[in-house]
C-alpha cells in the first residue's frame, strides 16, 4: 500500500508571535497554532502552575541546605507584685522589661523528609513542564482540526459556486432552446429546480464555513473585531516509507508527556511513602541562640540601657533528640495512606501506558486507512469528473434529461467532497502519528 505525506504550501508566512490583529496576510496552519499557544488561557493557567512548582523547588532546597533563623524582641510594663532580680524577693512596684533575641536551628536528621521533599520538588518541575507541553499539544490538535474544517468548507463553497454558475448557464441556454422549440417547459422547470438546489447547498455550506471559521478564531483567541485570513493551499507528495508501529509505540511510551507525568507521579508517591515510614525514626536537631534584656523599676536605680544590653547577654547551644513513642497511630495511618497513593499511582501509570499504546496503534491504523481511502477518493473523483463532463455535453445536445444530468452532477459533487474529506482526515491522522513519534504538532 502506497503511503502519502501531505505538505501545506504556505503562501504568506510571518512568525506567529509577531502576528498582530490587524495583519492582512494569510496565516498558515503553523502560524495559527503558534498564535493559539501564545494567547491561550489554558497555557497561562499551566504557566502559573509551573511557577508554583518553581517556588516549591526553591523552598525545598532552602529547607534542605539552610537553617531556620529568627529574631525577636518584646517589651512590657508590669503593675503590682513582681520579683526584684537583684534581691530575688517580691515587692509591689511598676516595672518595664525589654528583651532581644536571635536563634537558629537546623534539623540534622528528620527521617530524610527534607531530602525527599527536595527530590519530589525537582520531579514536580518536570511534571509541570510536561503538563505544559501536553496542553500545547491539545491546543495544536484542536486548532489543526478546526483549521482543516475551515479549508474543507471553503473549498466546498468554491465547488458549489462553480456548480451554481454552470446551472445558471445551462438554465439560460434551456430557456433559449424553449423559445426555439427545442426543449419543453418541463425541462426548463427541472433545471430551475436544480439551480435552486445548488444555491441552497451553497448557502448552507457557506454558513457552516463561517461557523467553522469562528470556531478556529475562538481556539486561537483571535480578536473578535478583526477578520481572520488563513492559507487554503495544500499539496500532496508521495512518501518514501513509514516507520514501524513498534518503533512508534516504544518511543511514545518513553517520551510521551502523559506517560512521563504518570511515571513521575508514581516516583513521587514512592518517595512520599519512604518519608512516611522514616517518620517512625528519631529526629535530631541542632539549635543555637543569643538573648539579652533591659529592665527598670519605679523608685529604684538601674543601670543604663547600654550596660544592661551588654551585661545581660547570654548564648546557648542545644542538641535535641526526639523519639516518637505514641501519637495515636497517626504515623501508621500516614504510611497506609501513602501506600494507597502509591498503589493508585502505579495503576494509573499502567493504565496510561496501555492507553497511549492503544492510541498509537489506532492512530497508525487510522492513518494507513485514511491514506488508502484518499487514493480511492482521488480515483473516484477523476472518474466522476470525466463522467460529469460527458453528461454535460449530452445535456447540451439533448441526449439526456435534466433529471439524469442532476443525478450525474450529484455523484460528481459527492466525489469531490469525499476526496477533500479523506485528504484532511489523512492530514490529521498523519500529524497524530508524527506527534507520538516525537515531532510536535507546531513543528510539522
Q: What pLDDT is attached to residue 121?
A: 96
Judged by average pLDDT, the poorest of 54-58, 85-89, 159-163, 226-230 is 85-89
Residue 156: count of CB within 10 angstroms of its CB:
21
Q: Using alpha carbons, list the distances in angstroms from residue 232 to 2, 124, 380.
A: 25, 42, 23
- Answer yes or no: is pLDDT of 182 > 90: no
Q: Tell me which H or E stretch contains 45.
A: helix 41-65
The residue among 238 and 413 whose pLDDT is bigger is 413
Mean pLDDT value across residues 325-335: 92
Cα 374 to Cα 370: distance, rounded to the nearest angstrom: 6
Cα 32 to Cα 134: distance, rounded to the nearest angstrom: 18
Cα 313 to Cα 293: distance, rounded to the nearest angstrom: 7
Mean pLDDT value across residues 216-237: 85
Q: Which residues pair with 70 in a beta bridge?
A: 103
pTM of the model: 0.80
- Answer yes or no: is pLDDT of 23 > 60: no
- Answer yes or no: is pLDDT of 242 > 50: yes
Q: How confident is the model at residue 194 (pLDDT cuts 50, 70, 90)?
A: confident
Closest CA to 215 of 198, 228, 197, 196: 228
Judged by average pLDDT, the poorest of 45-49, 110-114, 194-198 is 194-198
Q: What pLDDT is attached to residue 238?
A: 47
Highest-scoring range by mean pLDDT, 1-5, 294-298, 386-390: 386-390
Per-residue pLDDT tens for 40-68? 999 999 999 999 999 999 999 999 999 99
Closest CA to 122 of 25, 39, 57, 46: 57
Q: Which residues pair with 82 in a beta bridge?
A: 91
Mean pLDDT value across residues 247-274: 95
Phi and psi at residue 70, in whole multiples of 5°? -145, 155
Q: How confident is the model at residue 24 (pLDDT cuts 50, 70, 90)?
A: low
- Answer yes or no: is pLDDT of 441 > 90: yes
Structural domains of the chain ordered from first start: 4-40+112-281+329-443 (1.20.1600.10)
Pairing type for strands 68-83 and 314-322 reads: unpaired
Q: What pLDDT is attached to residue 61?
A: 95
The residue among 13 and 181 whose pLDDT is bigger is 181
Mean pLDDT value across residues 271-299: 92
Q: What is the mean pLDDT of the chain?
A: 87
Q: What pLDDT is attached to residue 127?
A: 96
Look up residue 323 and give its three cell numbers: 523519639
Percentage of residues of the chain with pLDDT beyond 90: 66
Q: What is the largest CA-CA distance in the chain?
A: 138
Under DSSP, the state recorded for 399 is S
Closest CA to 297 of 79, 116, 108: 79
Q: How confident is the model at residue 241 (pLDDT cuts 50, 70, 90)?
A: low
Q: What pLDDT is attached to residue 21?
A: 41
Q: How confident is the model at residue 20 (pLDDT cuts 50, 70, 90)?
A: very low
Per-residue pLDDT tens for 132-158? 999 999 999 999 999 999 999 999 999
Mean pLDDT value across residues 394-408: 80
Cα 35 to Cα 23: distance, rounded to the nearest angstrom: 12
Through-space distance between the first and last CA atoms of the chain, rounded to whole angstroms: 23
- Answer yes or no: is pLDDT of 95 > 70: yes
- In which residue are the cell numbers 473523483 written? 381
Q: What pLDDT is attached to residue 395?
A: 78
- Answer yes or no: is pLDDT of 11 > 50: no
- Answer yes or no: is pLDDT of 15 > 50: no
Amino acid at each position: 500500500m502506497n503511503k502519502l505525506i501531505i505538505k501545506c504550501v504556505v503562501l504568506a508566512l510571518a512568525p506567529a508571535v509577531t502576528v498582530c490583529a490587524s495583519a492582512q496576510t494569510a496565516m498558515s496552519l503553523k502560524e495559527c497554532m503558534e498564535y493559539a499557544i501564545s494567547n491561550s488561557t489554558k497555557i497561562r493557567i499551566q504557566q502559573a502552575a509551573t511557577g508554583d512548582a518553581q517556588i516549591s523547588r526553591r523552598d525545598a532546597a532552602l529547607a534542605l541546605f539552610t537553617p531556620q533563623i529568627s529574631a525577636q524582641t518584646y517589651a512590657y510594663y508590669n503593675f503590682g507584685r513582681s520579683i526584684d532580680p537583684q534581691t530575688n524577693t517580691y515587692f509591689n512596684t511598676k516595672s518595664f522589661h525589654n528583651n532581644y533575641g536571635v536563634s537558629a536551628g537546623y534539623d540534622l536528621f528528620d527521617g530524610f523528609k527534607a531530602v525527599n521533599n527536595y527530590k519530589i520538588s525537582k520531579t514536580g518541575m518536570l511534571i509541570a513542564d510536561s503538563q505544559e507541553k501536553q496542553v500545547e499539544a491539545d491546543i495544536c490538535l484542536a486548532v489543526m482540526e478546526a483549521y482543516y474544517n475551515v479549508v474543507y468548507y471553503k473549498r466546498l463553497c468554491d465547488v458549489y459556486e462553480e456548480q451554481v454558475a454552470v446551472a445558471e448557464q445551462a438554465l439560460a441556454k434551456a430557456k433559449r432552446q424553449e423559445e426555439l422549440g427545442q426543449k419543453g417547459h418541463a425541462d426548463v422547470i427541472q433545471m430551475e429546480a436544480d439551480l435552486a438546489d445548488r444555491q441552497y447547498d451553497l448557502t448552507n455550506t457557506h454558513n457552516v464555513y463561517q461557523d467553522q471559521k469562528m470556531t478556529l478564531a475562538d481556539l486561537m483567541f483571535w480578536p473578535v473585531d478583526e477578520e481572520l485570513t488563513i492559507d487554503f493551499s495544500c499539496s500532496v507528495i508521495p512518501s518514501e516509507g513509514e516507520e514501524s508501529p513498534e518503533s512508534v509505540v516504544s518511543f511514545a511510551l518513553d517520551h510521551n508527556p502523559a506517560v512521563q507525568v504518570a511515571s513521575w507521579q508514581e516516583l513521587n508517591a514512592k518517595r512520599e511513602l519512604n518519608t512516611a515510614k522514616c517518620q517512625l525514626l528519631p529526629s535530631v536537631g541542632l539549635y543555637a541562640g543569643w538573648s539579652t534584656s533591659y529592665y527598670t523599676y519605679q523608685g529604684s536605680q538601674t543601670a543604663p540601657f547600654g550596660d544592661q544590653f551588654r551585661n545581660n547577654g547570654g548564648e546557648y547551644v542545644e542538641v535535641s533528640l526526639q523519639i516518637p513513642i505514641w501519637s495515636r497511630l497517626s504515623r501508621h495511618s500516614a504510611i497506609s495512606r501513602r501506600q494507597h497513593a502509591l498503589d493508585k499511582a502505579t495503576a494509573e501509570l499502567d493504565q496510561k501506558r496501555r492507553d497511549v499504546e492503544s492510541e498509537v496503534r489506532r492512530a497508525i491504523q487510522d492513518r494507513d486507512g485514511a491514506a488508502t481511502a484518499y487514493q480511492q477518493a482521488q480515483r473516484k473523483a477523476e472518474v466522476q469528473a470525466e463522467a460529469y463532463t460527458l453528461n454535460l455535453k449530452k445535456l447540451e445536445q439533448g441526449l439526456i434529461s435534466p433529471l439524469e444530468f442532476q443525478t450525474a452532477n450529484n455523484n460528481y459533487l459527492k466525489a469531490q467532497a469525499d476526496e477533500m474529506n479523506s485528504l484532511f482526515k489523512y492530514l490529521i491522522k498523519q500529524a497524530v502519528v508524527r506527534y507520538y513519534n516525537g515531532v510536535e504538532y507546531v513543528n510539522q
